[in-house]
Structure 1
């Protein structure tokens, strides 16, 4: 079914591909289905094999046809051969050869698929073409070097986000970095401005560093983005400070972002974007009648439906919706497959409340058509789980016996929710509708509502002791400088049906002597007791998180309680935790997080019973000196032992290790990796930083064919790398600074490894020549303080992968020669000092399409970025293909000479 349902088929040919009958059968199926449906696309990748050998089944690739497959059925072999020939003839195709980064190929393919998906999707977006053209005309009016902000405004549910997302997907690959920040209004209300700023930093700069000083975030954001050409979408903004704190206010956003950056802002309030440019604002209007009718037909009818008998009713539905697309999105699926009489009855029901907004009534009618379990799922998502991981939420809802597999499917079909990047989303109007349903459960008494998600409501119920059996979920995240005033436990006792409890930023909460046994989620930061109450027997618990608490052990005494459904146990930063529970009582655990448990000295030996664990995080367990043998690696994906400073031995590895992709051993006391570690061939990342006692890297690391990132910086006893480490074709980053290594093995010289430079050049102030050519340097690899090398005369940066260079290069007052040949991702040259005489920038295909010019001591130096032709010492009267004001900013004192 996978091939039949796929819109894209990626076929990767290697030299050994044809040895597999299964592979040959699959490619034959792909060709068959793609020939039946031309909307499907085949993308061939030739991995160290010539397309001609695949096309004609010759060379090493074709040998199985004269050997292994010679006794196969003739028709089957002919079917294989025909399929190979067809696929090998497809254009465009991708070839992975020695010397080319696989990551580049992957990115090109991802970009192609994204573009095709969105081109196809735009054909399904009714009424979008005319709106896209109008917004595109605004984008085209922006000066190429200016920072430009496009405002898209209109009523809720009119299609602003859809338009913004279309432009994001069609433009993102033209920028050095891009970010789509959705739900700004909601995120701002829930988590504050600093959270949004950190989120933007992480996306644009791939920066996972935790910034502890919140006051520094704004400075970091403005300083680190000012040299980058970025694309930023701020979706659903409702306050001017949200824009100002993320991209700068209308007066200074030119200083925050790099030249050529583009910002899109969607909002219901036009006035929020007026100051950023009156000419760059677009109002999204309602659908006209023809567009609305087309959208209704898409959502309410199958291809073979008889539209004639529904024509008059369709026109009435369109009139009722009044051009509002979300109303039609909700009503269409509800009307689908219903009879003409049913349509008439639904329309009559809708028109009973003429004073209601059409969208409100449409949502109510569609919601009433759901079964009780699906209604509960919708309300849980609206109140608690919007933006959360689908897999996680399904586990929680399944433990509540809400039948999430069918329920989520229905909600998607009815356009109540969507799935994006495996997360649950819904339109904010539909979320507000869910909130309103819960409010209507009890207008006056908050404690009789089923769900409390607003911190003010939750706080009131707990402080006024209003909680009743009706309450199923409480999420309380107090803002800073607010406190909860409690003195009794009695109302906690009455909330016996509480399924979901999340309490954050509420220190000294005394009301925890009783916890509902119906809980599926207990997420209580700073839990105040040393253990769970003995009466707490939550047999259906799925997640337990008591991070940053005083917990010493989970239960005060030995318990026979088995938590069969528990998949997440998070005890991070429980500094008083002295022992872990008996893991045989949590057999389904998938994520075990004990990070920062500084007094934990022993892991219960029953950890070997965890057969499904995918994440094991013991980072910063400073007292831990050993691990039990027999840890099951069958499904383990990430194993973190960073900062376990007393741990001097890594456990022997047993079982399947094919899922383990990340292993963090940095800052441990290990002296060697056990021989059984040679089985970790699926590792993508191996972090051994600051392992001061590690004597050497074993040769078997050269068999880790998936390894992309190897860090041994600070391993001061390591004096050599394995000779064949250069054979690791996927290895992109090797950090070996502050080791005893003095010479790289010969195998590494021609590899694709990206060299990591020191964080600063300040100690190299006497340098006169710096050659970093062909070092595979990525964006941001060259230190920002390169301008401190004031004696530097020659700078060679050819053959690297960065997209931009620091303008501090302009401070190299003695620089004479500068080369960036074959920097194929370089989009613009940095500001260069006046004394530069010789510049080379050949084979830089995306360098800005204009002529750059600057005066040197002997005249002018030119570089034509269109064809990389250079002319030196040319003080002539040739007309320059640049506006005079641009020349004036470069060298105003020469304007008279040029004119």
Structure 2
């Protein structure tokens, strides 16, 4: 027997090809503790993460060698340094290069086989490690480098072989594919590629060897076959290889002294030999050790190559704000779960930039990438378009030459980005690529047209929103003032004005900031905001891009959609009523109201509106919300409307006549006409004396017609395309003037007295404010399409008996101080939804009001109204009821039948009590009582189970019902005017004492408003969640 073998008898088995601590089987406890201080994070049974990296990272994975037995700390001890204070030197890598994520793996590497250890062969070990590495996300977001010591290098090869085998069998598992493609290099510390003669020594030792030992025998056919497959994989995937070999012999406890893995077996590409033994070769003493420097240099070369070869990586702005700044890698992965990510938004909002950011974050995971910017602008027929787009294909960051065709991309894993999709040909090519490539391929698409994105299967659509104010200022300031110097006050103020006009669009901010960069002219800065508001289509050099792209979007619309956009950006952005809103103040048109008008003008209004929304020309809002259009697009709309003769707005009849007679304006094309005479329409004008009737005229309450400007009747009546007509303080010559049949909206203030409406008129909205009118024109009741009627007529005495013929009327506002009654036909308005009556002399409502089964909102401001009809209980759809009727003394018994009521406001000074039937209003959420003579509330008050907001301003209220404690849903309580009856004594000013006797109320309410002015209220702040 060889003397070395004899010397080994009675010693622990040699630890060659294994963890480099020949002196003991286990790590000493004190040293193990110091190694564990590196704060390893165990990702799974075998994968341990030492350090993580944010953003783009490189995963470096370390594999230890064979072990004598179950050495659980091998993933630590193998990589301990030989410095004065031993530590796991792997952390040095992360300290020098924070983009590295360091991982060490452990596995059953026992050379001795027993009942628990050494029973797994190389296939099983590698299979398990591959699975656990994938679960740990190795190679998911960036390059991977495998580092192996001794037998660990053989394990690395088998892992690569199994991952490739999975692909070759047609099992396209995305994770395995990604790992192979992102594996960029393998580094070896003393790896026996061609076996080790040291294993001959093991043959003479009397114990059962583990399954892994035979793989490192010299002339092992299994190892030779593995090397053959691996060499071909290296060539296929272009993996870099480097290694370090030992030159010094290794002394083992059994007396063996020799080189464990000689140069002939360890040599590979980019190989060096160092003066170290088999163990110290991977135990550098410092960061200047040759073996450590060789590994660092290897990692650096790979990272540099990855960066240099990424010719398809997209350029991003140096200044990153808003969504671009906060985009995280994990969020991107979530967005791409469906396979395709679509960025949708208006022009200039930053879709392309976000697309590039996502592409740059992901391209490293895909062997084949394609980024096509501005695809809708690529010329040529379908075949030429396809060839051009495929010429952008890259393989591992390098542009492919010659460009591949679709067949050559079959079965490839692709990352495809199509920017600015607009046509069917782009969607068709995406579908072809999707059918040919693997299921793990991913697609990023941007479009201003959401409808195009809907045509893509399995897409997650992300709406790109405008920048917030602070981000807008930051982006603009850094672009316009790169030196970051303090600004003078005038320039700071001008900058904020300019930024506000840019409306949070990155493109506009960038164009305008570059235009103003280096400009110190105060006049230029001050004039630019007005220039942007007036939408001059970029005639100034350097600003053309601001308007060019939105104008292209508009030009691609169909004629009906163009008209609707112009109306949405101009007319429907104005107030619905000149001086009064529907209820309290002014308001904008809602989408549902605009659609009613469009249904009369164009038809298919829902389809056209969806086109505008999908193209991001208007905001997607609920039907009952105001139409919203971005400020940039509003200004574009106004500019287009004025330029095309679409809209005429003048401040005098004289100016209108000039426009109509200058030959440039085509009367038949005029769509919107607004004649608002400034000289007579201002509310604050000085009084004027009419010398013909000797009456003073002051403000907008016109009493004299002689001072009005007279409109050109013939010209207006010949406007065949006129849709919207607004007249303020101007009048036609006396005589019957028939409104053009095309008009759908007519609004007049002190105007239109002599106008009549044609039969079968499409008029949908009618607003007339004229104090001289004593009766409605007969033609009004013939407006069969009328939906909105707003009438303010101080002298109006009555409504026609056939007023009920307005069958389609949905909203009615009537302000008539002298009107005393409503006709019985009022109840025939079966489609009426909202009614607002301000009629001081109205004493009663017709019994037929109960027929208004669609009525949802009833607002009565009628001081003389004494009672309500019994039929009011039949208004089953009523949700909002406001009674500002000071003469009203009682509510009728059927009042409790209004079970759908959600809001009730009673401002009735003479009302003495509330009926017990109020308890039936189970859906009531808001109750406002401003009743001076009301003394008590019904005991059933506590049964209002849905009541959330209660306001009691009743001077005579003497007590609150005990059931107040039962209002479990109450959130807000307002007691502003409490009478002295609520206090404990007549002289006391502590008016809150009785209120706080209901503690159940304060368990739920969030806001309590009480006007008492008493400092002792502080002692009741025990309700800590209450806002008083």
TM-score, normalised to structure 1, is 0.47
Which has the bigger relative contact order, CA under 8 A and spacing at least 6?
2
Question: Which protein is bigger by CA-based radius of gyration?
Answer: 2
TM-score, normalised to structure 2, is 0.42
